[in-house]
Structure 1
Amino acid sequence: MSAGAVRAGSRATPGHWSVLTGTGYILRFILRRDWIRLTVWSGSLAAFCVYYVVAISAVYPDEAARQNRAAAMTNPSGVLLGGPGYGLEDYTVGAMFANEMTLWLMVFLATFNILQITRNTRVEEATGRSELVRALPVGRHAASVAAFLVVVLADAVFAVLGSLLLISAGQLATADTVVMMAGLMLTALVFAGITTVTCQLTVHGRGASGLAFAVLGAAVLIRGVGDIQEQHGSWLSWLSPLAWAQQTRVYVDLRLWPLGLSVVAIIAALALGAFLANRRDLGGGLLAERAGRADAAPSLASPFALTFRQQRSGLLWWLVGCVVIFGLSGLFLGKSTVDAIRSLSEQNSLAAEIFGDDPLAGFLAIMMLHNGLAVAVFAVAMVLRVKPEEDEGRFGLGLSRSASRSNLLLSHLAVVALGTIALLFVGGALALWAGGLLAGGNVELEVPMKSAGAFALGIAVLIAFTAALYAWIPKASPLAWVLLAFVVVQSFFGSILELPDAVSGISPFWWIGNYPRTPLDAPHLIGLGAVAIALLALAVTGFRRRDLAAG
C-alpha cells in the first residue's frame, strides 16, 4: 500500500485516533489494487464447483455408478483424500461433492487467504510501506483489519456465487448447499485468522506464510488420520478446523452447530493476533531470529547459489505437498480401483471416453495432468519472483559485482527449471508409481516418467514465455497467469467447449496429448522444445536491452 491510501486531511494527533482509524481507506485501496486477483480466485473456484458437479452428474448418471464410486472411497486413501464418508450408503451427487471436494476447496481457499493476509500486512511492513502509512492518522490495527475484511469479502463472493451456481446448474438442495459453502468460507477464515497470528511472529512474509501453511498441512493430516481411525471421524478429527465444515453432514443429515466452532476459532485467532501486535515493534517479530554469519558463505558467491538459497524453502514445501498428494493418489492404482473404473466405463459412455479401453492408463493420464498443472503454477510463480528482486534494488546490487545481466536472469530460471523437474519426476511420477506399488498395482515406472518429461517441455514454454514478458514489458508480467488460466480451461473444458485446434494449440499442454492413453508425438515435443528455446533467447535479449527499475 502507499501513503496515498489514507488521506492526511485530518488534524488529529496520535492520541486522538483509535486503533482502527483509517481502516476504510486502506480497505478501499487494497480492493482497488487487488481486485483482479480477488476476482480470479473467487470466480475460478466457483466455476470449478459447478464444473465438478456437472461432470460427475454426467460420468455417474445413475445410482449403480455412484455406488461403485462410493466403494472406492471407503479405503484409507479415499478417506484421507476425501472426507468422513457421510452418505456413502446412498451416494447422491450432493454427497459425492461434499465428501470428495470440500477438503480441496477449503485448502485452496485457505491458501488464498494465507497469501493475501501476508501480502497486505507482513510484506507491507518488510518493504517499509506500512511505516509511511502509519505516519498518517492510521491506527495500529487498521491494516490487519482491512486485510482480513478483504478476504472476508472475497470468500463471501465465492460462497454466494458458488451456492447460486450449484443450486441452479447442479440442482442441489438449497439449504445444504448454503451451509456447505458457508462452512468452506468459515474454515478458510480460520486460517486467515491464524495467519494474522503468524504475521506477528516473524519478520519476513515468507516465514509468516510458511508457519501458516505448516498449520494448514497439520490440519489436513490430523483430519485424515482421525477419519481413518473411525468411520465418520474420531475425536482426533475434531482437532482440525477442516473437519468442522465436513461434520455438518450436508446432503445427508444437516446440522449447523459445528460451524460455531469455526466462528469461535476465528474470534480467538483475531484476538490473539491483536494481543501479539500490541507487544511488538512495527517491522519486528516476536520470535528471535537466528544470528547469521558475519559474512556470506563462499557457496553464495554465484547468482545461481544465491537464488537457490532464496527459493529452497518454497521448493521443499511444494515437493512435500506433491509427494503426499500424488503418492496417496497412487494408492488408487490398485486392482480394485481399476476394476471399478472398468465396470463404470462399461456402463457409461462418457466414462469410457474419459478412461478409454485401459482404465489404468486413463487414470495415470489424468493424475499426471493434475501434476503438470500444479507444477505449472509453481513455475510461473517462481519466475515472477524475479520482478520484486529488480523493483527492490537487489538485482542492481548483484550487477555491481562481476555478474552479467544474462547470468542473473538465467540463474533464476535455472533454479525454477530444476524445481520443476524435481516436482514432476519426484513429486509426481515417482510418487504415483510408489503409491501404485504399495496398492498392488501394475504400473511401470517408465510410463509416468515419460509423461513427466513431456510435461516438462510444456512447462518450459510457460517459463520462457513468462521470462520474455518480464524481460520486455515488466508491467505485463501478470499476463503469464492469463496463459496459464487458458491452459487449465483447455485441459478440462476444451473438448466440452469444442475449441478448434487453432485455439487449443495456444496451450502448450495440448501438444502433449493424452499420454499414456495415446502415444507421445515426437514432432510435437520437439516443437515445444524449440519454442521454449526461442522464447528464452528473446527473454535474454530483452533483459539485456532495457533499463532496470531504480529500486
Structure 2
Amino acid sequence: MSTSTATPAPQAPARPVTGGNALAGTRTLLRFALRRDRIRLPVWVLALFLGTLMTAQNYKTLYPDAEDRANVAETMDSPAGLAMSGPRHYLDDYNFGAMLAHQMIGFMAVLVGLMSVLIITRHTRAEEETGRAELVRSTVVGRHAHLASALTVAVLANLALALLLAVGLSGLGMDGIDASGSVLYGATHAAVGIVFAAVAAVTVQITAHARGASGMALAVIGLAYVLRAAGDSGDNAALSWLSPIGWAQRTYPYVDDNWLPLLLCLALAVACAAAGFVLSTRRDVGAGLRPEKLGSPVASNTLSTPLGFALRLHRGMLIGFGSGLFLMGVMYGSILGDAESMLEDIDQIQEALEQVGGATITESFASIVMVVLAVVAAVYVTMAALRPRAEETAGRAEPLLATGLSRSRWVGSHLAVAMGGGTFVLLLAGLGFGISGAASTGDAGLLWELLGAALAYAPALWVCVGVAVVLFGWFPRATSAAWIVPVYAFVVGYLGQILQFPDWMNNLSPLGHVPQLPAADMSWTPLLLLTLIAAGLVWLGLLGFRRRDLETK
C-alpha cells in the first residue's frame, strides 16, 4: 500500500520591500521621549530661566544708579572683559537690558547648547549603544524616526525656554528691559540651542558611543565660544561671525533688536540636521561612520588590571575636563590684575569680598573664582563616580564580575580614578589660574598660592565621590541625586556670597568647609575631617553594593 502526498508548488521569492515611510513612528517615539524626560527637561528649562531672572534682579540691586552701570561699562571695556562677556557695542548705553544681554548670552549659550546636545545623544546614540534602538526599529518604525523625535524634543525644550524668558523678563519692569527685546533675547537662546542640537545630530552619526558623540559636540560648543571671545576681544571681529554664539550676541537685544543674525542660526541648523539624516543612511544601526580602530591582539599589562582598565575608560573625559579647567583658569587669571579696578565701585561685591577676607581685593576675588573652578571639578568627579552605574545598566559589569574580579576591586578602580582624576584636574585649574594670574598681576608668588588653593578642594571632591558611591551601592535608581551636591555647592558657594545667604546653608556643602585660600589662612582640620567623611562614605557605599543584586541584561 502506498500513499502519495501533494508537493506544493515552489513559491516565487518575496520581493524586497522598497520605499516606506522613513518617519513612521516618530509621533510615538516623541511621546515616549517626552515621557522619559518629564522631570529632566523641566528642571533644565526652569533652572536656566530662574537663573536668568535672578541675575537680572541682582543687577537692579548691585547697580541701582546709571553711574554704577557706567563704571561697570568702563571696566568691561578691556580685551579680557570683552572676552568674558561680549561685543563692545553693548557698552554704548549700558542699561539693565544691555547689561543682561552683554554678560549673559555667551554664558547661557554654552548651557543651552549642553542641554540640547544631551537631549540628542540620550535619545539617539545612547539608544543604539544599549541595543534598544535595534529592538524598536524591528517594528514599524522608520529609519529617521529616532533622530526626528530627538530633534523635536530639543526644539520644544528650547522654544519653551524662549517663551519663559520672553514673558518673565518683560514683566520685570526694569529700565531698558522691554517686551520686544525680551522676545528677541529668548529667541537667541532657542536659536543657539537648536543649532547645537543639529550639530549633535551629526556627531551621533560619526561615533558608535554616546560619550564620544557628546564630547565632539561639546568640543564644537567650546570652539564656538573661543572664536567668539577672540573676535570680541581683538581687532579681528570677523572671528565672531564664524560662531553661532557670536551670531546670537550680534542680535543686540535691548540695544538694536536685530533679528537678521538668527537667520544664520536657522540656516546652519537646517543644514546640520539635513546632514545628520543623510549620514544616518550611510551606516548600520549601532555603528558609526568612523571605523573602529583595530586594537592590539594582546592586551597590555596595564589593561589587564582593574585600575588600568578603568583609567582607559575614563581617559577621554579626564583629558577633556583637565584641558577645559586649565583654559578656564587661564581666562580668569587674565582679568585678575584688573580685579580691583573692576570691582572697586560695586558696593555689593565689595561687601561679599570683605566677608571672604584677604589682604587685597585680588586675593578675595581669586578665592571666589576658585569656588567656580572647584564646582566644575566636582562635576567631573560626579560623572566619573557614576560610571560604574552606567557600566552596570549597559550589561558590561556582569561578565567582568563573573570572573575572579571582586565587586570591591571593580568599583574601587573607578573610584580611584575619580578621586585621583579630580585632584589632577584641580591641579591643572590651579596651574592655569596661577600662571595667568601671576602674569596679569606681576606677582610670581601668586602661582604657588593659587596652586595650593586649588588642591585644598580635593578632600571636598572626595566627599562628592562618596555621596555618589553611597547612592550607587544602596539606592542605584536614585544615583541622579548625586548631582545635587555640585549644583548646591555652586549656588551657595558662588551666588550665596553675593546674595548673602546665611552661614548654615554654606555649611551644608562640602566645598563650604574648605579654607578660602588665598584670602583666608590655611586650616588642616576641616580638610582632615572631609577626608575621613569621604572614606566613611566610600566604605558604606561599597558595603551596600556587595549586598545588593546586580542589574543584569
Normalising by the residue count of structure 1, what TM-score does the alignment of the two structures yield?
Answer: 0.91
- 1:317 partnered with 2:282: no
Superposition deviation, residue 162 in structure 1? 2.6
Q: Give the alignment of 1:79-98 within 5 angstroms.
A: 79-98=82-101
- 1:482 partnered with 2:480: no
SS of structure 2 residue aligned to 1:299: coil
Superposition deviation, residue 391 in structure 1? 2.0
Aligned match of 1:530: 532
Superposition deviation, residue 217 in structure 1? 2.1
Aligned match of 1:301: 304
Structure number with larger C-alpha Rg: 2
Aligned match of 2:446: 444
Q: Is the 8 A contact 1:355 1:361 kept in 2?
A: no
Q: Is the 8 A contact 2:205 2:288 kept in 1?
A: yes
Superposition deviation, residue 179 in structure 1? 0.5
Aligned match of 2:349: 351
- Give, in whole Å, the separation in 2 of the partners of 1:40 and 1:46: 10
Superposition deviation, residue 502 in structure 1? 5.0
13-22 or 75-84, larger mean C-alpha shift: 13-22
Aligned match of 1:248: 251
Aligned match of 1:5: none
Q: Give the alignment of 1:47-86 within 5 angstroms.
A: 47-86=50-89
Structure 1 residues 542 and 286, CA gap change in structure 2 (3 angstroms): same
Aligned match of 1:141: 144
Superposition deviation, residue 524 in structure 1? 2.8
Aligned match of 1:116: 119
Q: 1:365 aligns with which of 356, 364, 367?
A: 367
Q: Is the 8 A contact 1:508 1:528 kept in 2?
A: yes
Note the alpha carbon deviations across 1:46-71, whole angstroms, 9 max, x for none: 11111222223322222332233223
SS of structure 1 residue aligned to 2:471: helix
Q: Sequence identity, in percent?
A: 35
- Give, in whole Å, the separation in 1 of the partners of 2:203 and 2:501: 45
- 1:180 partnered with 2:181: no
Aligned match of 1:218: 223
Aligned match of 1:424: 426
Superposition deviation, residue 124 in structure 1? 1.0
Note the alpha carbon deviations across 1:297-352, whole angstroms, 9 max, x for none: 22201111111111111111111111112211111111x4323323x15xx2x222
Amino acid corresponding to residue 52 of structure 1 in structure 2: T
- Give, in whole Å, the separation in 1 of the partners of 2:17 and 2:543: 52
- Give, in whole Å, the separation in 1 of the partners of 2:135 and 2:90: 54
- 1:326 partnered with 2:324: no
Superposition deviation, residue 499 in structure 1? 5.9
63-72 or 134-143, larger mean C-alpha shift: 63-72
Superposition deviation, residue 441 in structure 1? 4.2
Aligned match of 1:200: 205
Structure 1 residues 520 and 316, CA gap change in structure 2 (3 angstroms): same
Q: Is the 8 A contact 2:30 2:152 kept in 1?
A: yes
Aligned match of 2:406: 404
Q: Give the alignment of 1:371-390 within 5 angstroms.
A: 371-390=373-392
- Give, in whole Å, the separation in 1 of the partners of 2:527 and 2:78: 38
Note the alpha carbon deviations across 1:242-269, whole angstroms, 9 max, x for none: 1111111222222111111111111111
Q: Is the 8 A contact 2:191 2:262 kept in 1?
A: yes
Q: Is the 8 A contact 2:121 2:214 kept in 1?
A: yes
Aligned match of 2:128: 125
Superposition deviation, residue 446 in structure 1? 3.7
Structure 1 residues 477 and 169, CA gap change in structure 2 (3 angstroms): same
Amino acid corresponding to residue 75 of structure 1 in structure 2: S
Aligned match of 1:546: 548
- Give, in whole Å, the separation in 2 of the partners of 1:340 and 1:133: 56
Aligned match of 1:467: 469
Q: How many positions carry a matched residue from both structures? A: 531
Aligned match of 1:270: 273
- Give, in whole Å, the separation in 2 of the partners of 1:43 and 1:467: 28
Superposition deviation, residue 15 in structure 1? 5.7
SS of structure 2 residue aligned to 1:203: coil
Amino acid corresponding to residue 91 of structure 2 in structure 1: L
Normalising by the residue count of structure 2, what TM-score does the alignment of the two structures yield?
Answer: 0.91
160-169 or 90-99, larger mean C-alpha shift: 160-169
Superposition deviation, residue 362 in structure 1? 2.0
- Give, in whole Å, the separation in 1 of the partners of 2:234 and 2:495: 38
SS of structure 1 residue aligned to 2:237: coil
- Give, in whole Å, the separation in 2 of the partners of 1:514 and 1:207: 36
Aligned match of 1:190: 195
SS of structure 2 residue aligned to 1:295: coil
Q: Is the 8 A contact 1:333 1:441 kept in 2?
A: no
Aligned match of 1:508: 510
Q: Give the alignment of 1:7-22 within 5 angstroms.
A: 17-22=20-25
Superposition deviation, residue 202 in structure 1? 1.8
Q: Is the 8 A contact 2:339 2:362 kept in 1?
A: no
- Give, in whole Å, the separation in 2 of the partners of 1:476 and 1:141: 32
SS of structure 2 residue aligned to 1:103: helix
Superposition deviation, residue 28 in structure 1? 1.2
517-526 or 133-142, larger mean C-alpha shift: 517-526
Superposition deviation, residue 383 in structure 1? 1.2
Q: Is the 8 A contact 1:201 1:285 kept in 2?
A: yes
* Deviation >4 Å, runs of 4+: 13-17, 492-504
SS of structure 2 residue aligned to 1:20: coil
Superposition deviation, residue 160 in structure 1? 1.9
Q: Is the 8 A contact 2:438 2:446 kept in 1?
A: no
Aligned match of 1:3: none
- Give, in whole Å, the separation in 1 of the partners of 2:292 and 2:21: 31
- Give, in whole Å, the separation in 2 of the partners of 1:97 and 1:520: 37
Amino acid corresponding to residue 191 of structure 1 in structure 2: F
Q: Is the 8 A contact 1:53 1:170 kept in 2?
A: no
Q: Is the 8 A contact 1:19 1:140 kept in 2?
A: yes
Aligned match of 1:283: 286
Note the alpha carbon deviations across 1:451-492, whole angstroms, 9 max, x for none: 323322222111101101101121121111233333333224
- Give, in whole Å, the separation in 2 of the partners of 1:207 and 1:526: 37
Superposition deviation, residue 358 in structure 1? 2.7
